[in-house]
Chains A and B, each alone.
Chain A
Amino acid sequence: MNLHIAAQINSFLAALVLLTAFGMLTQKRIYGLIHLFAWQGLFLSLNTAVVGFVAGKHHLYISSVLTLSLKVVLLPYILHVLINRLRIRKEVETVVNIPMTMMIGIALVIFSYHLTAPIRELSTLITRSTLAIALATVMIGLLMMITRRHAVTQIIGFLALENGLFFAATSATYGMPLVVELGVALDVLIAAFIFGIFFFHIHTAFDSLDVEQMAKLKESD
């Protein structure tokens, strides 16, 4: 596999990651969101493996497998179980309407392109052009956390943001040291468990996962 084809596959997978990020931004159904999140994880893991192959950094294979097991299998499974337990069925409510969110998303992509342009000029890695996509994925994850009212979707937004950070590390410096990546992976896993516990508490206290309800903390008497 020569370098040119590898770079093409790399940028194609980056485009797919961006597409799934936008898909999550516009998806209304909660199961659809989780599936898209799993797809994003899959593309990310494939991308990491390709970068590892091209750069000859073998520890990237381990992070690729880690991403695959954690973000494609385990986290979506945990979210599935949570949703089934909490019996969340209805469509996700958004604060801003969807076409508007799309436009903001596009603006964010342009913004991150401009922001990373100097780095792109300086860097010599073949993954340098995907850095803009990675930053855009982070921002879209953030946007998703802002525009959604539901606690579960906000968590998925957070996890998508983490995907973007991981992607940024891979494309900017061929990945973080393995110890750091293992630590981050463990953190995300623990975070998912803690979120699960919090969901149950919020659900029992408010009988809903709509975070709007948490604005009124005072007990009415």
Chain B
Amino acid sequence: MNFYPFISEILQIGIVLSIAPAFAGWVRMVKCWFQGRTSPSLFQPYRDIRKLFAKDVVLAENASWIFRFTPYLVFGTTVLAGGIIPMLTTDLPLSAAADVIVLVALFAIARFFTALAGMDIGTAFGGMGSSREMTIASLAEPAMLMAIFTISLAARSTSLSQIVQVMYSGQSVLRPSIAFAFLAFVLISLAETGRIPVDNPSTHLELTMIHEAMILEYSGRHLALIEWAGMMKLTLFMALGAVLFFPWGIDVSGSASGGVFAFFFLLLKLAASGVILVLIETGLAKMRLFRLTEFLGSAFLMATLGMLSFFILE
């Protein structure tokens, strides 16, 4: 029996867990450079997580099991999502078990429970955050699925490994449907990971926060898990965009040297996507909540146009 796929699966999950804080640190660093500030170290998020793990958990008196269960669930689904996306090699055992629709569903479960936990304590901010989060989700998820269907149509499969292999073999030089799907994906990633035109990850300003409002009551190891999962989600979305639309360097043969090569390519692509993310974030201002329908509506429009141009032009 060939153990290589299993080893690469475990390695990949390990990589996702370990480089996610560094990636979040990298994004903060680049952002600081762009704004002319002195940046914290690349490893600051690791220290933050370690600090939070060492702290005690403060629980509200009326917190139910949902509140205590949610951090573990969010962390678990995000790790699982990290096992599905073929980042280094297309020969992943878990990738065959779950396709791209499951991936969207995993993120949806995490979001659903975060929203429940936000309402569980009964504070005003939690409920407000949950309500906003679900408003965004109801608009972002159809667009996300539409973009994914467009890519699946072009690759004739919903399996991520299959899609990446088709993209890698490279008949997608100038396909309008893929270009539209990519534009839609960029807009959706900004909304899903709570970056600037939609949500500002670095403030606790009560009027604008969305994700932070839901997790305001968490502390200690619960907060550490949620923060870590958030960093992983950001990394995963960037990695997903990188492998779907720019799959250069990914290992399709299943050899160890190919895996190492793919790892360096992945780091390079993540670093580049971090810079692009910061460019988008510094170039835009945070949107009013009521204008988000237009923002996510245009993401949906792009994804639909991608699907239509697949039928019309290809």
Interface residues of A (CB under 8 A from B): 5, 8-9, 11-12, 14-16, 18-19, 22, 26, 98-99, 102, 105-106, 109-110, 113, 129-130, 132-133
Known A-B contacts A8-B173, A99-B293; the reply to A18 vs B311 at CB < 8 A is no
Q: Which residue of B lies closest to A100 (CB)?
A: B297
A22 to B304, CA, bound (A): 12
Interface residues of B in 130-176 (CB under 8 A from A): 173-176
Q: Is the CB of B312 within 8 A of A132?
A: yes
Q: Is the CB of B294 within 8 A of A113?
A: no
Q: Is the CB of A102 within 8 A of B297?
A: yes
A16 to B302, CA, bound (A): 11
Known A-B contacts A8-B175, A15-B179; the reply to A133 vs B294 at CB < 8 A is no
A25 to B152, CA, bound (A): 28
Q: Is the CB of A12 within 8 A of B301?
A: no
Q: Is the CB of A8 within 8 A of B174?
A: yes
Measured between beta carbons, the chain A residues less than 8 angstroms from B297 are 98-99, 102
Distance (whole angstroms) from the CB of B251 to the closest CB of chain A: 28
Seed contacts A5-B174, A8-B173, A26-B301; 18 additional CB < 8 Å A-B pairs: A8-B175, A9-B174, A11-B174, A11-B176, A11-B309, A12-B175, A15-B176, A15-B179, A98-B297, A102-B300, A105-B301, A106-B304, A109-B305, A109-B312, A113-B308, A113-B311, A133-B309, A133-B313
Q: Is the CB of A102 within 8 A of B298?
A: yes
Q: Is the CB of A109 within 8 A of B308?
A: yes
A88 to B297, CA, bound (A): 28
Measured between beta carbons, the chain B residues less than 8 angstroms from A129 are 312-313
A-B CB contact pairs (8 Å), 6 listed: A11-B309, A12-B175, A18-B309, A26-B294, A106-B308, A130-B313
Measured between beta carbons, the chain B residues less than 8 angstroms from A5 are 174
A161 to B143, CA, bound (A): 28
Q: How many residue pairs bridge A and B at CB < 8 Å? A: 60
Measured between beta carbons, the chain B residues less than 8 angstroms from A19 are 180, 305
Interface residues of B (CB under 8 A from A): 173-176, 179-180, 293-294, 297-298, 300-301, 304-305, 308-309, 311-314
Measured between beta carbons, the chain A residues less than 8 angstroms from B309 are 11, 15, 18, 133
A99 to B297, CA, bound (A): 6
Distance (whole angstroms) from the CB of B217 to the closest CB of chain A: 34
Measured between beta carbons, the chain A residues less than 8 angstroms from B173 are 8
Distance (whole angstroms) from the CB of A98 to the closest CB of chain B: 6
A105 to B304, CA, bound (A): 11
Measured between beta carbons, the chain A residues less than 8 angstroms from B175 are 8, 12
Measured between beta carbons, the chain B residues less than 8 angstroms from A132 are 312
Distance (whole angstroms) from the CB of A135 to the closest CB of chain B: 10
Distance (whole angstroms) from the CB of A108 to the closest CB of chain B: 11
Q: Is the CB of B180 within 8 A of A15?
A: yes
Known A-B contacts A22-B301, A99-B294, A109-B308; the reply to A11 vs B180 at CB < 8 A is no
Q: Which residue of A lies closest to B309 (CB)?
A: A15
Measured between beta carbons, the chain B residues less than 8 angstroms from A130 are 313
Q: Which residue of B lies closest to A120 (CB)?
A: B312
Measured between beta carbons, the chain A residues less than 8 angstroms from B311 are 113
Q: Is the CB of B313 within 8 A of A22?
A: no
Q: Pick the most buried of B298, B313, B314: most chain A CB atoms within 10 A of its CB.
A: B313
Measured between beta carbons, the chain B residues less than 8 angstroms from A26 are 294, 298, 301
A113 to B300, CA, bound (A): 19
A60 to B309, CA, bound (A): 25
